[in-house]
Each structure stands twice: as structure tokens, then as C-alpha cells.
A = this chain, B = another copy of it.
């Protein structure tokens, strides 16, 4: 039983769709969220840059004594999980100190020992494999996520008979952020991106980006009623619940938990867009400067 918070990070606001599911499935758990708005988006950037950002994001969360780290960003989950695991969450021999940044900020390893690290790729892939009947699965995501091959590997590892069709959809993130879910232009763009997946006759489509649930209606309309849409937020929250329970880390308290949200750019902008993603009001949003925190 453990009242420490769950640490969640994303390049910006997309990860709030995962937080919404944590709130729903684990109402007793406290969340500390970090959204790296100043450097968003991650999906257009190189693996090397994304890894550097993700390690800094984790280092910030670790300062908040989190009991688990959730990488609520498909792009970062695609390319940075190993790097995070290697640097922060491997079960090293206790009592040692590890360097949390390149500028000599230390944390006692005993607390970090075997810290659970949960990404959004595997949970989504697992559901897709369970749900497909035809064995043909589509995956959409940012350029970074699709190019990394992370979904392709995760699906193949679960079932090597699955036929995988992928499609990067770079305009979906700005369309979701602009709030253009139901515009004709969005429908045309979705038709263009998704037509190869329709032609391939996939029967399950993984929404491989935490922004995409906001476009679910349009994507569903284009794909048709025969295609199931898999949203990784729900599956990821289920995985978090499972892991915490498994390790005895659930919080038994029934008090209303006080969540905290941190961003690397102005809270006002995060709050304004973020409430659509979270589906409720965003309280306690603070701005931090990663440079100052990390440097």
C-alpha cells in the first residue's frame, strides 16, 4: 500500500487522455503530470532528441517521489523506453546514487529500485491482437512513432501471424489541438490518410497517438462500422492498475487525491486546450523551467 503519486509525462496535452482513464479506473490514486509544452510536439523529431527530452521529463518526475512512471506519449514510448529503463528504473543494487541529470542532481537509488515503467504501445497492441478477427491490424500515429517500428514489433511479438498496416498522420495532432474534430476539412484529411488502411481491409485500427481519441468520431466515420478503434489510454490505465496491484503499490485511501500538473510553458494555454483532453477542469497547473530544474 503506497500513497506516493503516479508520475505521468507527455510532450504536452495528449497524455491527458491517459490521465482521464487513470482518474476513471483508479480514483484513489494521485497523479503528478508533466507536459513538455515548450518543446512540443515530439512526433516530428528524431529518436535521439526525443530520448534526450524524455530522460529530462523523467528526471523531473522522479523529484516528486513517484511510485511509477507512465510514458503517456506514443512517440516517447516508441523510442525512449529502453533509455529510461537503463538510466532510471533498472533494479540496480541498492544504496548507490545515480545521476539524475548531467548537472549533478542526485537521488537515492533505494527509492527508485525497480520502479515500474509503463508505456502506451504494448497495452494498445495487446488489445488490437485480442480484438482482430481477420488478423489485419492498422496503426496510425506520428511520423516518429510509425518510423520507429515500435507498434510493428509489439504486434509481431504478440502474434507473428498478424498482418500490420501503418500510416503516419501528421496533421491529426494540430487538427485535434485546433478543435477541428468535426470539420469537413478534417474528414477529407482523414479520408486521404486512412484510405490505404481501408483498402487493406484492416478490422482493427490502433489510435497510436494520445491526441487521436479526440478525432475518434471522424476516424470511425471514415473507417466504417466494421472496424474497431483501439484507444491506448484505456488499455494503459488497465495495465497501470494491474502493475500497481501486482506489486502492492495501490493506494488504499478513499480521500480525494490532490493531483498536480506541471508544464514547461504557460499554464493558461495548457489549461485551455487540456480541459478538452481531460474532460474536466484542470486545477493546480504550475510552470517549471526544465533548464533551471535540470541545470
The residues of B that contact A174 with a CB separation of less than 8 Å are 170-171, 173-174
Identical subunits present: 2
Contact of A185 with B189 in the complex, beta carbons under 8 Å: yes
A residues 19-50 with Cβ under 8 Å of B?
A: 37-40, 44-46, 48-49
* Nearest B residue (CB) for A37: B45
* Residues of the B chain whose Cβ atoms lie less than 8 Å from the Cβ of A45: 37-38, 265
From the candidates B38, B173, B178, B186, name the one contacting A49 in the complex (CB within 8 A). B38
Number of interface residues of A (CB under 8 A): 31
The reply on A183 being an interface residue by CB < 8 A is yes
How far does the alpha carbon of A46 sit from the alpha carbon of B271 in the complex, in Å?
13
Q: Does A175 contact B (CB under 8 A)?
A: yes
Proximity bits, A188-223, B CB within 8 Å = 1, else 0: 110010000000000000000000000000000000
23 CB-based A-B contacts, threshold 8 Å: A38-B45, A38-B49, A39-B39, A40-B44, A44-B269, A45-B265, A46-B265, A48-B266, A49-B264, A49-B265, A52-B291, A170-B174, A170-B177, A170-B178, A171-B174, A171-B180, A183-B188, A183-B192, A185-B185, A185-B186, A185-B189, A188-B188, A295-B295
